[in-house]
Amino acid sequence: MRNYVSFDIGGTTIKYGLLSAKGEILAHDAVPTPNDRDELLGVLTNVVNTYADQQPQAIGISVPGIVQRDGYMITGGAIDCLYECPLGELVSKATGLPVHVENDANAATIAEAWLGAAQGVKDYLLLALGTGIGGGIVINGEVFRGAHGMAGEIGWNVTHDIDWTDDLEASSLNFHAAVVSGLVRRYNASLKQVDHDADEVVDARQIIALAHQSDPIATPIYHDFLVDVGIMCCNLLSTLDPELILIGGGISANNQFIEDLQAQLDELLARHTSLNRVKQLVLGKVVAAGLRNNAGLLGAVYPLVEE
């Protein structure tokens, strides 16, 4: 049986596991993410060595940031030591194994076609709603990466009124349609205006629950968030014409949010003459991603399985 070591590197935690060619997770664990390049390389190498008796064929790595096809990282999200880092080359030299490095949103997108909600679908998108917004784009069964590996950075799109005295990114989707930098940030800012001593909310589920109880702060903030996510979906439906838009990130496990988003999207489409005219015939669906926590591990190794 062919086995693979897979890593899903996040800003605070590295999830890792031993996976089979069928996508079975045979073993898994997690360690804190160091923010020193040598320490990070040491952690990855030590993990691979612990699986040496299983004779892994190759290593897959899911990681935030802009990743080029050769595994060179231009950016690394919140992991400073991965900026301008030849991660694939370094890990391959340290372990003696082939290495595939994949942007984390792309990895999750790939996994959904393998074992998740996009099986059999040729054209689809994944929106990973978290601290910011990551995205994966699949066209005719292939991940679209763009000329420099940057395709899918949907959260950088500027779609709101511009404050010319502030960083332009403050008007981006990352600060409006993301869960942490959008919904949670906006709620806490409004809460502090009413009560300076109020404890900040860190869990979006609490805000959603308050909104459904007609809380005067949560209700308009949550509505605006749904509108922002809905407009983002409308723009992507009309630009790329996918069969599916998958909603990923932790919030995708909240059935209430998915129902609310679908209702808001239906309202937006009904108010858009052209999109409303075609929605019953050719407009793609918006659904929750299927794999959630394991998507990064699975998507990082799938290209290796297919080689």
Pair 130, 169 in one domain: yes
Which pLDDT tens digit goes with each residue over 228-272? 999 999 999 999 999 999 999 999 999 999 999 999 999 999 999
Pair 93, 64 in one domain: yes
Pair 132, 240 in one domain: yes
DSSP code string of 86-150: -HHHHHHHHHSS-EEEEEHHHHHHHHHHHHSTTTT-SSEEEEEESSSEEEEEEETTEE---SSS-
User: Angle, nearest 10°, between helix axes 87-95 and 37-50?
Assistant: 40
Pair 129, 170 in one domain: yes
Pair 155, 238 in one domain: yes
Residue 79 Ramachandran class (φ > 0 left, ψ -120 to 50 alpha, else beta) = beta
Pair 143, 123 in one domain: yes
Print pLDDT tens along the chain (307 aa). Answer: 899 999 999 999 999 999 999 999 999 999 999 999 999 999 999 999 999 999 999 999 999 999 999 999 999 998 999 999 999 999 999 999 999 999 999 999 999 999 999 999 999 999 999 989 999 999 999 999 999 999 999 999 998 778 788 888 889 999 999 999 999 999 999 999 999 889 999 999 999 999 999 999 999 999 999 999 999 999 999 999 999 999 999 999 999 999 999 999 999 999 999 999 888 777 889 999 999 889 999 999 999 999 8
Pair 285, 299 in one domain: no
Quick one: DSSP state of residue 267? H
Range of the domain at 276: 119-289
| Structural domain count, the chain | 2
Pair 231, 256 in one domain: yes
Output the 3-class SS for 170-237: HHEHHHCCCHHHHHHHHHHHHHHHHCCCCCCCCCHHHHHHHHCCCCCCHHHHHHHHHHHHHHHHHHHH
Pair 279, 302 in one domain: no
Pair 166, 219 in one domain: yes
CATH at residue 92 = 3.30.420.40
Pair 82, 215 in one domain: no
Of 129, 125, 90, the C-alpha closest to 109 is: 125
Kindly state the percentage of the chain with pLDDT values over 70. 100
Edge-first strand listing for the sheet containing 142-143: 142-143, 133-139, 124-129, 244-248, 285-288
Pair 59, 127 in one domain: no
